[in-house]
Amino acid sequence: MCGIIGILNLQDLPPPSLEELKPMITRLAHRGPDGYGYYTDDHTGLAHARLSIIDLQGGNQPIHNEDGSIQVVFNGEIFNYIELRRALEQLGHQFYTQSDTEVIVHLYEQYGDSFVNHLNGQFAIALRDKKQQRLILARDRTGIRPLFYSVTGGRLFFASEVKALFAHPVLKRRLNIKTLGEIFTYWAPLPSHSIFEGVSTLPPGHIMTVEKGKPCISQYWDWQFLTDIPDQRSADDLAAELKELLIDSVRLRLRSDVPVGAYLSGGLDSSVTTSLIKHYTDVPLRTFSVSFEDDEFDESSYQKQLVDYLGTNHSHVLCRKSDIHALFPKVIWHTESPILRTAPTPLMTLSAKVRSEGYKVVLTGEGADEVLGGYDIFKEAKIRRFWARFPDSRIRPMILDRLYPYLENSPMASRAYSRHFFRQGMEQLDKPYFGHIPRWTTTRRSWQFFSADVKAELQDHHSHATLENMLPAGINNWKPLNRDQYIEAHTLMSGYLLSSQGDRVAMASSIEGRFPFLDHRVIEFANQLPLRYKIMGLNEKYLLKKAMKGIIPESIRSRTKQPYRAPDSQSFFNNGKPVEYVEHLLSEQRIDQAGYFDSQAVTRLMNKCRKGRAIGFADNMAFVGILSTMLLDEMYIRSSSTMNDGIHGDQDER
């Protein structure tokens, strides 16, 4: 894990200098506290901040080929580098390090731009081919590692995080209002978009090549589903194959020259990863978890069950509401995006705990729900499609009562309300995003808090046309669940879970997360499964549970999924009084100054939260979204503030 930045001249301009590169890369010190490396030529400047995990002595970047004509800086890990190195050496390539980075150099020499197809890993890569006067940027298949870029002043700037781009004075700072509308709908920017005007992301599974001053972006991998899914193999046979794939994926992700730990949430997915480490590897099992003072969010009893079952060396950290409001500004400094829930904050606390225990790498269960059909939204959509065939039926919607037993304020508490909520979008059964309409409609209620100017700018963006235009041409021919999975993976997962709730809060403490369920071989296997092996009736992740029989405790294997959540608006008030920075940022004067929101509407929401009456999802999402947007404005747009200095100042001292 590391941080990378670069500058490429697209026109005839002076070469990038070290004086330009150094302020950019030092802004990423938290991603790579173990040292810096630089490369410059007539058109290109590359820099790297290193977090030493593999080849601790000889893996300093940039890494080059035999004659130095190819240079690579790289953020991430190539898990199959040992096998790739062996094959490349047989083809005559000579290595000078033990680093996984060097296989990228020689793969490119051997296979050209298709080198990415050989990689099993999580990565953002910048490769300079000086002989051919080319630059290549590549991002891993599912978007685990970030890569941002901006074209301005005849140059291409790129970096692992936007804060590094903004360390160069030529880049301007302004929030992108259309993307703000996307976040307040989908929880995340749509692929290639960022919250900052003029800054884009390289989408997951894409590669950018730049020749003769012209960037060209192409896709090398995507989630693919069959229109007709073969149903010839038994569940036992498929479960055995899934188990072997996951064992191999875990083994690959344990490759490291430093100790590797694992997150243990108490749910099925982290129980799978920790149990596979225990039973099928010789790596000492070291686990970490977060607990809450509020029983509604706490899963420590399930965590203890698994710790006792596995006999793991375990540490946990208690996250209080006071911790959430204290850390939230730092979270937003790292997420570089508005967020609608506080859930990343406890995970930042957890990553700090991991680092304090001397670990740099953890395995997590992220991705299992998207890959194997675990989310409640998939079950919702299944019921709603069943109901939509007979929309006047009184019996069919009663199945909805079986959802959300873990929510204190469940939409199922009122049958009339739940019928109204889930009936939303019934007339759009033919849309590929049918399953997501109730959720997105609830989130978009937050638009009521936008200012008149923002609403005017968003007036042409009330439909989901932008999203629909990004979807693959054949998506309507896929099975309904597969359509739901694709959209979930390309919105919430890549844009929020792997970013704000993943890479950013882990790397804030220089911790690398690894995700066995997002091995592309696991995804490709799961994408060919008959649907009933993902959701059997309303039993989610059926095949995964079957594969884990006898390996994890039965109480956890048979447990209904409870998604990870954290206290939201209630975390920012003490006895009805907002904490100091909240009171300042959400004051009518400050809201009007920023111009994103209607100050009177925000005041009404504040008063509701102050009195403890914001108990629904919509109010909580609106509050957290508004507060995080204002923090972003404070730290990135009005960057001379003392709050901003305090947030990023501690990073530069590392």
Question: What tokens does 12 get?
Answer: 């005839």
Report the DSSP beta bridge partners of residue 157: 7, 150
Torsion over CA of 273, 278, 283 and 284, rounded to 10 degrees?
110
Residue 240 CA to residue 559 CA, distance in Å, equals 21
CA distances from 280 to 36, 244, 586 (A): 37, 10, 52
Gap between the Cα atoms of 77 and 92, Å rounded:
24
Annotated catalytic residue 2: yes
Report DSSP state, residue 41.
-
Q: In angstroms, how far is the first alpha carbon of the chain from the final one?
A: 16
Contact criterion met (CB below 8 Å) for 183 and 189: yes
Q: What is the C-alpha to C-alpha distance for residues 566 and 624, in angstroms, rounded to an integer?
A: 12
**Which candidate in 2, 216, 319, 609 is catalytic?**
2
Q: What are the CA-CA distances from residue 192 to residues 184, 280, 470, 518 (Å)?
A: 17, 39, 10, 20
Residues 186, 182: Cα–Cα separation, whole Å: 6
Q: DSSP readout, 112-128?
A: GGGGGGG--EEEEEEEE
Omega before 62 cis (within 30°)?
Answer: yes
Q: For residue 121, count other CB atoms closer than 10 A to its CB.
A: 27
Find, among 311, 254, 320, the residue nearest to 512 by Cα.
Answer: 254
Tell me how far apart the alpha carbons of residues 507 and 568 are, in angstroms, rounded to a whole number: 23
**Residue 30 C-beta-side C-alpha neighbours within 13 Å:** 26
Residue 412 · residue 422 · CB < 8 Å? no
Q: Tell me the angle at which helices 177-186 and 617-632 cross, rounded to the nearest 10 degrees.
A: 150
- Residue with tokens 């199959």, as numbered in its chain: 80
**Which CB contacts under 8 angstroms, 24+ apart, belong to 229-235?**
229/479, 229/528, 229/529, 229/530, 229/531, 230/528, 230/530, 231/530, 235/533, 235/543, 235/546
Interatomic CA distance for residues 185 and 433, integer angstroms: 13
Query: Is the CB of residue 127 less than 8 Å from the CB of residue 116?
Result: no
Helix, strand, coil % in the chain, rounded to nearest 5? 45, 15, 35
**Count of CB atoms situated within 10 Å of the CB of 575:** 5
Contact call for residues 306 and 274 (beta carbons, < 8 A): yes
Alpha-carbon span 369 to 485, nearest angstrom: 9
Angstrom distance (rounded) from CA 625 to CA 187: 9
CB atoms inside a 10 Å sphere around CB 521: 13
- Give CA–CA dist 372/366, Å, rounded: 11
Token digits of residue 187: 């929880």
Supply the Cα-derived Rg of the chain in whole angstroms: 24
Just list the catalytic residues: 2
